[in-house]
């Protein structure tokens, strides 16, 4: 059993370069209800900084993140 959060929606932004993973995540979060969790998968190394900064500035919560073999996964809870 993994300790990763459950999610209400998933976004695969693999192969997209900065800032597209973040822009797509923002659009997806706009669709979700407050408190919903979005799981984002990206392959852009710059996305780590982007998602951390975005969470701080937007008020959304970065619940968890993983980086494995060039794949970055984020769980964001909508504010």
Active site residue 7: no
What DSSP string describes 24-71? HHHHHHHHSPTT-EEEEEE--TTHHHHHHHHHHHH--EEEEEEEETTE
Catalytic residue among 7, 9, 16, 18: 18
Q: How far apart are CA 71 and CA 66, in angstroms?
A: 8
Taking the C-alpha atoms of residue 44 and residue 21, their distance in angstroms, rounded to an integer, is: 8
Residues with active-site annotation:
18
């Amino acid at each position: 059993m993994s300790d990763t959060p459950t999610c209400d929606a998933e976004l695969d932004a693999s192969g997209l370069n900065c800032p597209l993973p973040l822009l797509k995540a923002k659009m997806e979060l706009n669709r979700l209800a407050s408190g919903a969790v979005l799981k984002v998968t990206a392959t852009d190394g710059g996305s780590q900084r982007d998602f951390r900064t975005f969470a701080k500035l937007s008020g959304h919560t970065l619940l968890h993140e993983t980086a494995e073999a060039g794949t970055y996964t984020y769980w964001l809870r909508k504010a």
